Amino acid sequence: MSLSGFNLGIISGAVGSEINGKIAVHQSFGRVIDELAKLFSKCYMSLAICPHDSSLDYILQSDNIESIPQHYGKKVFEKVKHPVGILKSGRRVIDSSDIIFIRGAMPYLPLIHLYAICTGRPIVQWMGGDLRESLRWYPNSRTFRGRLRSALAWLDEKWFQLIRKSSYVYIVANGCELYEKYKSPRTTLVVSSTLKQDEFYYRDDTCQKDPVRILFVGFVRPGKGLKYLIEALSLLKTSRQVQLAIVGDTEEYSAEKARVKKRIDELGLADKVSWQGYARFGPELFNQLRRSDIFVLPTLSEGTPRVLVEARAFGVPVISTRVGGIPSSIQDGKDGILVPPRDSKALAIAIDKVIEDGDFRRKLISNGYAAAKRLSLEEFIGKLVEVFQHGTARKDNIMEIEEYIELLKHDDSVTTHIEMDKNKEVQYLQECKYVYKEVIKSMPVSSDAIRILDIGPTPFTIFLKSKFQHYDVWALDRTSLLEERFKQAGIHLKVCNLDNAQIPFEDEYFDVVIFKEVLEHIFSPPSDVLREVKRVMRPSAKLILGVPNIARLSNRTKLLFGVSPLPRADEQMKKGWVHGHGHIHEYTRKELLSLCKSVGLKVSYVQMLSISPLDVLNIRKKLKLMNFFYYSIIFAVSPLKSTIYIECYK
């Protein structure tokens, strides 16, 4: 699916500066933005503007990027003072765009998220690192401002964990640690990179002459664990001469540099350590990598450091620590070495092994270069594009459900569904579309012919097939009454009664199974039915499960007046061709989750759903005000909602 017809909105807490009418940003952000701009019709960007800053070393090249400044300022507390500027800039970007790309955290971001969701814009939220963890190493972290920063970071983390549940929000998480923290059906694991494949530099081997040059690149701050690397130098057993080059900015963390220098002097290593200063991304940094034999990053907390990709892309064997998202980037012993954090002895052993074991070193170099190819800027952009395509496809599909219902309303050629006339069928779809929207949002977007099974199909199945025409859609029903209608739509129908028969498909046949408002009608033990559904699911297949919530407000109200929430028993047991029986059993959220887990299904997403009060006003002809008030209560209080909606995997 092409993105060229869409506008991209970019919102970031990062800063930029204006240089001759162009916007300068940091390389790690700018290269990604320029690559994305090539794919979209227009990009609107909201970020803070500050006076010229030498660290902003990349000028955006794309002509289709329009900057909408938030305010003029760099520090966090300067941003907090400008809610109007930030929110106005964010609103203008959202109003002008089809999909929103947000990098990291920033003040007032929840309001920006909510505005985008309310206006129907999908959000791609890029989580680059653990904000709370990184603030532990911030200068003056124990002052009032430092503690306030930590409190704001804690609130941001809680907000991201809440907002990830929204079907409008797609999380792009750097590394496995952030992926687990913000996991949802729409979370994508990435290792971000800014290095293009044509910038790679391959070599067969390193450590061929003395001194062996060990390289560290990063901010010289406590969280980088540099003192453990210094101590490791004093523990080396190799007879080879060794030189450590420290590349990175030390101005902001001058106290840490002083501590490291003191430790160097205490260990008598002053002649083995050189301070290279800050190296800009590009020729300066690339030259440092080409001249080095081993790269070591003894960090104590990280996302997925780009420099680990860059080092391997220049044929340098890497040693790092098993923290944050680093294990997502490096396979220990295959394309790098991982050691525990704060362990100088383990670092020394790893450095000795790389220097002394030539076969092992050459294996690390070869595998590391291949791994870096898979983690290039092109590969990272490719993953982002898949997420954008999914978001824009869902946006279109959700809007078109309304169009489909309207079309059905005026199409006399369509036969009626179940025991309804055309008007009742349309009303049924209107009242249930809140569930169908969730189903559409959860559908995987792929160019492959994904195989889908809809158990207990409705006219929505036809809409599903019309939106994903190249998907192989199957329906399973108790009767063949919908066969002709499905045949015209290109849907395969099989007849099966789940009360007394197996699902008539071979094992591991489907990529997606939709099982909505059927389980409550079945006499058979629900665990047996779910095991049978699980049997026909492929190993990574998704099950979309929906049942009425027995604890919904209407049922609670009936019980309050001594009335059973279920129909009379005779009506329950009465056979009909549509469902077979009435609701034999209804479920609570807790009960349904326990049932899924008992059969080995991994629950990834749970949501309580109900029709919106505004839709009720459009559908219900009588007692509009009373209905609006009643459904407003339901909409506001999650446990009272009508439907339990669960997504799970095999």
Domain shared by 186 and 213, yes or no? no
User: At which of 375, 403, 431 does a domain end?
Assistant: 375
Q: Indicate whether 396 belongs to any domain.
A: no
Domain shared by 116 and 22, yes or no? yes
Under 8 Å between Cβ of 299 and 131:
no
- The string of pLDDT tens digits covering residues 181-238 is 898 878 999 888 889 999 999 999 999 999 999 999 998 888 899 999 999 999 999 9
- The string of pLDDT tens digits covering residues 4-62 is 889 999 999 888 888 877 888 988 899 999 999 999 999 999 998 877 676 788 899 99
Domain shared by 520 and 548, yes or no? yes
* pLDDT class of 417 with cuts at 50, 70, 90: very low
Q: Indicate whether 404 belongs to any domain.
A: no
Q: Is 623 exposed, middle or buried (0-12, 13-18, 19+ CB in 10 A)?
A: exposed
User: At which of 166, 190, 214 does a domain end?
Assistant: 190
Q: What is the mean pLDDT of residues 233-247?
A: 95
Q: Indicate whether 392 belongs to any domain.
A: no
The answer to whether residue 274 scores a pLDDT higher than 80 is: yes
Q: Indicate whether 152 belongs to any domain.
A: yes
Per-residue DSSP letter, 43: E
pTM: 0.69
The answer to whether residue 139 scores a pLDDT higher than 80 is: no
CATH code where residue 434 lies: 3.40.50.150
Task: Output the CA angle 46-51-54, nearest 5 degrees.
Answer: 100
Mean pLDDT over each residue of the chain, to the nearest integer: 87
| Domain limits for position 153 | 7-190
Q: Is 380 exposed, middle or buried (0-12, 13-18, 19+ CB in 10 A)?
A: buried
The answer to whether residue 456 scores a pLDDT higher than 80 is: yes
> What's the pLDDT score for residue 577?
47
Domain shared by 96 and 212, yes or no? no
Whole-angstrom distance, CA of residue 105 vs CA of residue 80: 12
> What's the pLDDT score for residue 204?
93
Domain shared by 459 and 531, yes or no? yes
Domain shared by 478 and 330, yes or no? no
Domains of the chain: total: 3
Domain shared by 342 and 443, yes or no? no
Range scoring the smallest mean pLDDT among 104-113, 261-270, 608-617:
608-617
Q: Indicate whether 457 belongs to any domain.
A: yes
* pLDDT class of 621 with cuts at 50, 70, 90: low
3-state SS track over 397-439: HHHHHHHHHHHHHCCCCCCCCCCCCHHHHHHHHHHHHHHHHHH
Q: Indicate whether 2 belongs to any domain.
A: no
- The string of pLDDT tens digits covering residues 488-500 is 889 999 999 888 8
- The string of pLDDT tens digits covering residues 115-135 is 998 887 899 999 987 766 666
Domain shared by 120 and 184, yes or no? yes
Domain shared by 277 and 214, yes or no? yes
Q: Indicate whether 393 belongs to any domain.
A: no
Domain shared by 107 and 215, yes or no? no
Domain shared by 148 and 209, yes or no? no
The answer to whether residue 578 scores a pLDDT higher than 60 is: no
